Amino acid sequence: MKSSNYQQSLFLTRFNLKRDGLLILVWVLVLSLLMSAVAFKFNDLYGTKDAISSIVLTLKTPAMVSLFGAFTAKAPYTTADIFASEMMVFMALFMAIMNIYFAVRNTRGEESNGTVELIAAHAVGKQSPLLAATIELFLINLFMGCLFFLGIQISGMTGMSTIGNLLTGSGLAACGFLFGSSSLFMAQISDNPRGATMLSYLFLGVTYLIRMITDVKNADWTYLSPFGWVEKLSIYDQNNWLPVLFMLSLTTVLLLLTFYANRHRDVGAGLLTTRGGRKRATFLLSGPFTLVMRLDRLSLIAWILGLCVMGISYGSIFGTVGDILKANPMMGSLLGKNALNAASHLIVLKFAALLLIVFAVLATVPSMQTLLRINNDERKGWLEQIHAKAISRNHIFISYVAVALIMGTFTLLAAIFGMWLANAAVMKDPLTLTRLLRGFWGYLPALYVILGIGALLVGWLPKLQAIIWLLPIYGLISLYFGNLMNIPKWAQQITPYGWINQVPVNNVNWTNFGLLLLLALILFIVGFIGYQKRDLLEN
């Protein structure tokens, strides 16, 4: 008999930390070094009153408010105020993503591969694996919060305070743990890792969109979004600890619901069960391609709808973005009506160009997940039934690649289409669909090159395939903050996303388009050869 539902929880926690040590180290180093590097850099970038005044005007525009949140600091502004305004929403997003990854991996992922069932056969409490995963998340966020505090503290940034630095670390840690707890709850609802991940990102996406819309329309309503609470910390200004209390309170509620649900369900089951399939497959399910497509259909639909809604949300503020100059009487007198309209149009185009970088990186996520799944499915033994039939490995590899390309293409297109729909509804002189499609044709081959590199790793270095995620993460950071942090051009061009000229402001470079497609094709072929030659049990 087991004496407790939580027996051996600390032992399992130590085991999890040891097993995940390398992954935790990578996440910790990347995020903490990024935060510290920006803190050190900001003294050089925004160390003068003129530089601060200039960036404050930019941060108060609707475009920047939608990306970074409302700028609420009171004059006189300091470098630390700019740092808090630009970094909190961005870092909170990465903290949420990190927590979703570890939460789903160590709960529903462990149940899916049979690890929890093996553990349950020993003298271990029924809820010990869940408690161990929760403790691990808490420790990761606590450690990250401490590193954020120390990194900013030693930066010597003008205008910072110890209380403000402590609130920064505490707020980001609490935000991360909140979304980690929500993912633990989603892992009880869904009976498979993909479903839990989708639900977790759905919660993150909805809260982020509510934050964005309320920030632009009325910042007082941002309290409606748990993600928006990180903005309300008012760091280095009022240093408001109340949002941290909100985050911890909601986290507690989510954890109570999670443990209650876990106690009342069977191992491997979810509150929402997967509907049983047909007894016999339809004629549409005729091979590996249609099988992978069917397995990923819900993910594809969810990502298409999600990115379309995101495009609509950002496109809906294009009208206010373009009116920035028109609201300034002096600029109207200096430029004249025609020049003013042209300048406003250019601002909207440049904002769209920045959004397209985000859309391209986000479109990479579901397509790369599908591509990398070939090795995960192989490792779990799910492909054995296919290998046992007269189906070549070439056919299997090409099927996964084809579905990945389809997912990347349609999710990117959905985001752009949503942005066009909204901008057409709110602007008197909207951007045309043809103009916005420059972004689609510009970034599509870059996305394919990233997938090509992923295919190469799948074929030749399957154990290291996870490192491919460094490319989209670095690409987003380097291009998103490129102008704000004066990141050199060569550093922005390390990833294929940086090889694209600024579309839709500029025309598509069709020569570059062709060369990138050729490079992607070569990478896919090399990956194909590697997959064909390596042993199936190499993983």
Do 226 and 303 sit in the same domain of this protein? no
- Distance CA(117)–CA(300), nearest Å, equals 31
Highest mean pLDDT among 29-38, 168-177, 209-218: 168-177
Q: Which of 214, 244, 273 is the endpoint of a domain?
A: 273
pLDDT of residue 334: 42
pLDDT greater at residue 125 or residue 104: 104
Question: What is the per-residue pLDDT across 133-147, written as a single tens digit (0 to 9) for each?
Answer: 999 999 999 999 999
Residue 435, pLDDT score: 93
- Answer yes or no: is pLDDT of 209 > 80: yes
- Confidence check: pLDDT of 250 > 90: yes
| CA nearest to 399, candidates 370, 434, 423, 362 | 370
Mean pLDDT of all residues in 212-231: 91
pLDDT, average across residues 332-343: 53
**183 and 256 inside one domain:** yes
Mean per-residue pLDDT, 469-494: 84
The domain total for the chain is 2
Please tell me which residue, 327 or 410, carries the higher pLDDT value. 410
Domain assignment of residue 95, yes or no: yes
Summarize the confidence of residues 76-90 as an average pLDDT.
Answer: 91
- Residue 250 exposed, middle or buried by CB count within 10 Å (0-12, 13-18, 19+): middle
Quickly state the pLDDT bin for 335 (edges 50, 70, 90): very low
The model's confidence at residue 186, banded by pLDDT at 50, 70 and 90, is very high
Together in a domain, 426 and 493: yes
Q: 33 pLDDT exceeds 80?
A: yes
pLDDT for 313 beyond 80: yes
- Looking at the predicted structure, is the pLDDT value of residue 329 above 80? no
Residues contacting residue 441 through CB under 8 Å, at least 6 positions apart: 503, 508, 513
Residue 1: pLDDT band (50, 70, 90) is very low
Judge residue 218's burial from the number of C-beta atoms within 10 Å of its C-beta, 0-12 exposed, 13-18 middle, 19 or more buried.
Answer: exposed
Of 240-254, 279-293, 406-420, minimum mean pLDDT range: 279-293
478-493: average pLDDT: 81
Percent of the chain with pLDDT over 90: 52
Identify whether residues 262 and 405 lie together within a single domain. Answer: no
Q: Are residues 119 and 220 in the same domain?
A: yes
> 290 or 385: which carries more pLDDT confidence?
290
The answer to whether position 34 is within a domain reads yes
Q: What is the pLDDT of residue 482?
A: 74
How confident is the model over 284-300, as a mean pLDDT?
Answer: 85
Q: If pLDDT is split at 50, 70 and 90, which confidence band does 447 have?
A: very high
Q: How much is the pLDDT for 322?
A: 59
Per-residue pLDDT averaged across 505-519, rounded? 94
Q: In this structure, are 268 and 292 located in the same domain?
A: no
Q: Is residue 191 part of a domain?
A: yes
Six token digits for residue 445: 């081959």
The answer to whether residue 179 sits within a structural domain is yes
* Range 483-487 average pLDDT: 72
Same domain, 292 and 266: no
Q: Which of 244, 273, 302 is the last residue of a domain?
A: 273
Give me the pLDDT at residue 323, please: 57
* 330, pLDDT greater than 50: no
Q: What is the largest CA-CA distance in the chain?
A: 84
Q: Do both 169 and 289 map to the same domain?
A: no
| DSSP 8-class letter at 281 | -
Lowest-confidence range among 149-153, 174-178, 342-346, 444-448? Answer: 342-346
User: Residue 447 in contact with residue 408, Cβ under 8 Å?
Assistant: yes
pLDDT score of 337: 55
Judge contact between 459 and 465, C-beta under 8 A. Answer: no
Residues 247 and 366 in one domain: no
- For the cut 80, the answer to whether the pLDDT of residue 176 exceeds it is yes
pLDDT class for 46, splitting at 50, 70, 90? confident
Per the model's pLDDT, the better-predicted residue between 49 and 406 turns out to be 406
Distance between CA atoms of residues 12 and 6, nearest Å: 10
**Structural domain boundaries, residue 17:** 13-273
pLDDT of residue 341: 62
Q: How confident is the model at residue 3 (pLDDT cuts 50, 70, 90)?
A: low
Say yes or no to pLDDT of 29 above 50. yes
- Give the mean model confidence (pLDDT) for residues 46-66: 82
Global confidence as pTM: 0.86
| Pairwise pLDDT comparison (417 vs 387), residue with the higher score | 417
State the DSSP string of 173-240. Answer: HHHHHHHHHHHHHHHHH-SSHHHHHHHHHHHHHHHHHHHHHHHHH-GGGGGGSGGGGGGGG-TTTT--
**pLDDT, position 342:** 67
Give yes or no: residues 398 and 494 share one domain.
Answer: yes
Residue 326 lies in a domain: no
Tell which wins on pLDDT, 464 or 323: 464
Q: How far apart, in whole angstroms, are the C-alpha atoms of residue 321 and residue 300?
A: 31
Q: Is 350 a member of any domain?
A: no
Q: What mean pLDDT, rounded, does the chain reach?
A: 87
pLDDT at residue 268 in the model: 74
Does position 86 have pLDDT exceeding 50, yes or no? yes
Is residue 2 a part of any domain in this protein?
no
Asked which of 142-146, 425-429, 444-448, 475-479 is least confident by mean pLDDT, the reply is 425-429
The pair of three-digit structure tokens given for residue 74, joined into one six-digit string? 């009171």
Q: Please tell me whether residues 122 and 257 are part of one structural domain.
A: yes
- Mean per-residue pLDDT, 517-532: 95
State whether 110 and 212 are in the same domain.
yes
Question: Where does a domain end: 242, 273, 304?
Answer: 273
Predicted confidence (pLDDT) at residue 538 exceeds the cutoff of 70: no
Rounded (10°) CA dihedral 304, 305, 307, 309: 160
Give the pLDDT mean for 297-311. Answer: 91
The predicted structure's pLDDT at residue 331: 40
Specify if 178 maps to a domain.
yes
